[in-house]
Amino acid sequence: MRSFVRTHATEVSLLAVIVAISAVLSVSTANFFSLGNAFDLLNISSVNIIFAVGLLVVLIAGGIDISFAVAASVVQYGTAIALGWIGGGGWVSGLLIAGSLGILLGAINAFLIHRFRVISIVATISTFNIYFGLLMFFTKGVSIYDLPGWLTDRVILFEHEMADGTWIEITLPVLVMVLCVIATWVLITRTTTGRQLYAFGDNPEGARRFGINIGAMQFIAFGWLGLMAGIGGLIQAHYAQEVVPNALYGRELDVLAAVVLGGARLGGGKGSVLGCVLGVLLISITQNGLNLMGVSPFAFKMIVGAIILMAITLSNTRIERLLPFVSQKGAGR
Amino acid sequence: MRKGVFGFPPASRSNLTRFMGRHMHQLATAGGSEKPLLALRDINMTFGGVRALKNVSFDVRPGEVHCLAGENGCGKSTLIKIITGVYRPADGASIEYDGESYSHMSPVTAQDRGIQVIWQDLALFPEMSVAENIAFQTVLGRWPKLVDYNRMRQIAKDALARLGVTLDVDLPLKEYAIAQRQIVAIARALVGEAKLVFMDEPTASLTQSETDHLLDIVRGLSASGVAVVFVSHRLAEVLEISSRITVLRDGALVGVYPAAGMTQSRITELMTGKTFDQQVRAKSRDGQPVVLDVKGLSRPSQFEDVSLTVRRGETLGITGLLGAGRTELALTLFGMLKPASGTISLEGKPVHFSSNRDAIRAGVAYLSEDRLSLGLIQPQSIADNLVISSLDKVLSGGLLSEERKRSLVARWIGDLGVKIGLQQDAISTLSGGNQQRVAIAKWLATDPKLLILDAPTVGVDVGARAGIFDIVARLAESGLAIILISDEVPEVYFNADRVLHMAQGRIVGSYDPRTSSLADIEGAVYA
């Protein structure tokens, strides 16, 4: 347990912050501490968690991606059009089309970064503008509301009425999110490819000397994020029941903040799926709590920003001072 | 120096005497006719018109410890990269390894056939666990497989056990200090059934006792039949550990020599083609006014009750093992750490620095021990690096004056004999010795009274070291008070007027090089 605390200091401190905020909200609001609200939170956070685990893989490999959220919007439009061509389709064909389109857009980033040695933040700021520009140009900013019926119908996988009359529901987005989280966890912790991604992010030159295929690493990382962006885009369209070209614009920074909050390092080699999920949840819980407390939505961004700052300051070096037992160094020292 | 101009051109080094060309291709025959594990013939390598290697031959026998010696840029690393398949030599090369012939190696073949390299930068993964670092080969491969963490742990434990070391294999590597990381790198090399291990400067950042441990490990490897090619700047350990020494100079083979009967000065001569007569430079400076007077300086758990004086023109050497508190003391004198008790006086006036800006203004300069990451800003130009601590001197009407900067830089480059192309070239294009000269010039430009040099020759060649100490001696002659910190006792012995020995935060001995022998001081320090 102690070694878990030491090697997972970020996750533990995030969990502590989440527990503390939840405790405050349970006392100060009537509805926060209920299973119904907890499941609501999961439903609301699903898309961001899907994006976040994708972005995590890119951060671990030492890159960064600003373009994935608008790429997801491009995927929404592309998928909607493609589904029209094939006469409606269904969840399987929808996910396949969205996932493939996402991978394609991610591969464009990887290609620019690997082939032309453009640093990832510059490459993806460029593709962010190109994707969004093309999207606004071709759609003229028009939203799509006549989506296929299967896509807009809510899919409730499990529901149960609680004694107090509230409903707990597990919807399709949650299931997809859980599958994406598990798949990403397996990729980065249980496969050799995942460990190569960590090694590449941690020490690119060292990885190169081991003969790790650097190009493949870039394509896998950005391709995985593209896949998650595609799936997340489709799920967001399902959740919102419409496709709006600028609906996801700006989401990239929220997700990036959550992932970094979860302990991923800009610069590579560090980050966990658990931390990533907790990072997104912390932000969702805060927004949800502010909502329940009746705080003006205009104040959300400010408060969320402050919480991110506090949590990141805590989870860096300070944790070792706050919890002295954590800071005992390795046995060899 | 504000007072002095150096009286002689930098190129005229008194200790540069003769060129040792006659030693070319003097092949040793020690050890008889045992079949070599590795035999290289006719190795040529050209980079953009520059011949990095010229007809080099190189042999390694099974299980021997073989030292590859030469100054930076002599072709050692190029040779290692050819043997390990990173570079492909020019046509006509022959590589025979373990009974097979190759025209060139590939990294995969080299690893499969048991050739391992421990790079100077170790090429480790600090965020990953010790086990993963050691058993990293198990996660290689083109197609994804499931990771077997238990197998990794077992491999790592076995490899560490072979070295007689216990580490917690589940901890991230970053939790361990550099000496343990070095051991992890060696353990990793052993995993692949190594027959031939290259170690590039393995002791560069180790203390003496850590180095001794490492040398024991190397002896153990050799005894178990693994051949080790050892590259090191520290000639004492080269002589101690190796059976044969191959010397390269300017990309050409100078010769192969048995270690028995070799001396450090002989190797230095062979490496540089020059002779260096090391003489004690110490002089008495008792008549000079005191520049720095430190009384009873303490910082809990770092140093205790340190008292010392440095006079005008005096070079005070401070030696001791890593962790003795030398650098912390230096940082305190430079205002970056605050003493808990004690006083610091500069030219008779007590000073209390609240930051190193105060110290710089009062005339203290500190050349950091870690030049590469702390002392110089690598991607920036030589000129910008040189003026960074003295920007106020290159202002004209409140703005930076390119003209003033250029003339200030030209003056110091000339004074210290730095070999550069253009002032605008990045500092990273210079050799270690020349970078160090720029770093010294940077501080001299602030007009210091006291110059603290912390490990000024780390990463600097033998030949260039002498040049640095010539500069130090000239600076002292011109009236600067100098503190020279080094964990290499001979450096302070030959170059300082007085030597203080620091151990566990205390000054435990004071020596005058004119009346003490090097062996006395080394005996005390390495005891």
CA B133 to mean position of chain CA atoms: 25
Average pLDDT over residues B287-315: 93
pLDDT of residue B277: 66
Residues of B in contact with A189 (CB under 8 A): 147
Residues of A in contact with B142 (CB under 8 A): 213, 216
Place of tokens 């870039």: A218
Of A195, A329, A331, which has the smallest distance from its Cβ to B147's Cβ? Answer: A195
**A47 — pLDDT class (breaks 50, 70, 90):** very high
pLDDT of residue B456: 85
Question: Is B139 in contact with A211 (Cβ distance < 8 A)?
Answer: no
Question: Is A332 in contact with B168 (Cβ distance < 8 A)?
Answer: yes
All structural domains of chain B with their residue ranges:
18-114+194-274, 122-192, 290-525
Average pLDDT over residues B243-249: 92
Average pLDDT over residues B70-95: 86
Distance CA B384, CA B376 (A): 10
pLDDT tens string B404-459:
888 888 888 887 777 777 788 888 777 777 888 888 888 888 889 999 998 888 76
pLDDT of residue B242: 93
pLDDT tens string A69-109:
999 999 999 999 999 899 888 999 999 999 999 999 999 99
Comparing A155 with A198, the larger pLDDT belongs to A198
Distance CA B205, CA B203 (A): 6
In the sheet that B315-319 helps form, which strands lie side by side, from edge to edge?
B364-367, B450-454, B481-485, B315-319, B498-503, B506-511
Q: Tokens representing B305?
A: 């009750």
Tell me phi and psi for residue B526, to 5 degrees.
-90, 5
CA B184 to mean position of chain CA atoms: 21
pLDDT tens string B343-390:
999 999 999 999 988 999 899 999 887 666 666 777 788 888 888 877
| Mean pLDDT over each residue of chain B, to the nearest integer | 83
Name every residue whose Cβ is closer than 8 Å to that of residue A197 and which is 6 or more positions away in sequence: A57, A60, A61, A188, A217, A220, A221
Note whether A3 contacts B: Cβ–Cβ < 8 A: yes
Distance CA B500, CA B14 (A): 28
Angle (CA) B428 A209 B49, round 5° = 50
Average pLDDT over residues A29-52: 87
B-interface mutation test, from A60, A203, A265, most B Cβ less than 10 A away? A203
Nearest CA in chain A to B85: A209
| Beta-bridge mates of residue B161 | none
Note whether A190 contacts B: Cβ–Cβ < 8 A: yes
Residues of A in contact with B86 (CB under 8 A): 209
Average pLDDT over residues A156-184: 88
pLDDT at A184 over 70: yes
Q: Tokens representing B369?
A: 């021990």
Name every residue whose Cβ is closer than 8 Å to that of residue A132 and which is 6 or more positions away in sequence: A70, A73, A246, A249
Of A7, A192, A206, which has the smallest distance from its Cβ to B144's Cβ? Answer: A192
Comparing B497 with A169, the larger pLDDT belongs to B497
The two beta strands, B94-97 and B38-47, are antiparallel
Distance CA A273, CA A234 (A): 22
Residues of B in contact with A1 (CB under 8 A): none
pLDDT tens string B211-228:
888 899 899 889 989 999
Give the CATH architecture of domain B18-114+194-274. 3-Layer(aba) Sandwich (3.40)
Nearest CA in chain B to A193: B144
Q: Tokens representing A131?
A: 């994707």
pLDDT at B517 over 70: yes
Domains B18-114+194-274 and B290-525 in one fold: yes
Distance from CA of A328 to the nearest CA of B (A): 10
Of A191, A210, A211, which has the smallest distance from its Cβ to B144's Cβ? Answer: A191
- What are the E-state strand segments in chain A? 156-161, 167-171
- Report CA Rg, chain A: 20
Note whether A107 contacts B: Cβ–Cβ < 8 A: no
Of A202, A270, A330, which has the smallest distance from its Cβ to B171's Cβ? Answer: A330
Question: Is A196 in contact with B140 (Cβ distance < 8 A)?
Answer: yes
Average pLDDT over residues B237-265: 90
Distance from CA of A270 to the nearest CA of B (A): 7
**B57 — pLDDT class (breaks 50, 70, 90):** very high
**B28 — pLDDT class (breaks 50, 70, 90):** very low
Distance from CA of A199 to the nearest CA of B (A): 6
Interface A-B: count of C-beta contacts within 8 A: 93
Note whether A26 contacts B: Cβ–Cβ < 8 A: no
Residues of B in contact with A270 (CB under 8 A): 127
Q: Tokens representing B373?
A: 């990451």
Distance from CA of B132 to the nearest CA of A (A): 9
Helices B462-477, B264-272: crossing angle, 10 deg rounding: 100
Residues of A in contact with B146 (CB under 8 A): 190-192
Residues of A in contact with B171 (CB under 8 A): 3, 7, 330-331
Average pLDDT over residues B222-243: 88
CA B340 to mean position of chain CA atoms: 32
Residues of B in contact with A330 (CB under 8 A): 167-168, 171, 175-176, 180
Asked if residue B19 lies in contact with residue B273, where contact means CB atoms within 8 angstroms, the answer is yes
Asked if residue A200 lies in contact with residue A61, where contact means CB atoms within 8 angstroms, the answer is yes
Note whether A1 contacts B: Cβ–Cβ < 8 A: no
Asked if residue B521 lies in contact with residue B317, where contact means CB atoms within 8 angstroms, the answer is no
Note whether A7 contacts B: Cβ–Cβ < 8 A: yes
Cβ neighbours, 10 Å, residue B273: 19
pLDDT of residue A134: 94
Please give the share of chain A, as a percent, with pLDDT higher than 90: 54
pLDDT tens string B155-164:
999 999 888 8
Of B505, B454, B162, B437, residue with least CA distance to B334: B454
Average pLDDT over residues A113-118: 93
Asked if residue B387 lies in contact with residue B439, where contact means CB atoms within 8 angstroms, the answer is no
pLDDT at A291 over 60: yes
pLDDT of residue B29: 37
Please give the share of chain B, as a percent, with pLDDT higher than 90: 36
pLDDT of residue A1: 52
Nearest CA in chain B to A199: B125
- Domain B290-525 in CATH 3.40.50.300? The answer is yes
- DSSP one-letter string for A59-114: HHTT---SSHHHHHHHHHHHHHHHHHHTTS--HHHHHHHHHHHHHHHHHHHHHHHH
Distance from CA of B337 to the nearest CA of A (A): 20
- What are the E-state strand segments in B129-251? 196-200, 227-231, 244-249
Angle (CA) B34 B119 B427, round 5° = 130
pLDDT of residue B26: 35
Residues of B in contact with A192 (CB under 8 A): 138-141, 144-147
The identity of residue B68, as a single letter, is L
Helix, strand, coil distribution of chain A in percent, nearest 5: 75, 5, 25
Distance CA B312, CA A43 (A): 75
The identity of residue B275, as a single letter, is T
pLDDT at B119 over 90: no
Distance CA A201, CA B516 (A): 52
Of B111, B139, B171, which has the smallest distance from its Cβ to A196's Cβ? Answer: B139
Question: Is A210 in contact with B140 (Cβ distance < 8 A)?
Answer: yes
Of B167, B128, B29, residue with least CA distance to A201: B128
Distance CA B236, CA B213 (A): 15
pLDDT tens string B189-201:
888 778 999 998 8
* ipTM metric: 0.86
The DSSP code for A314 is I
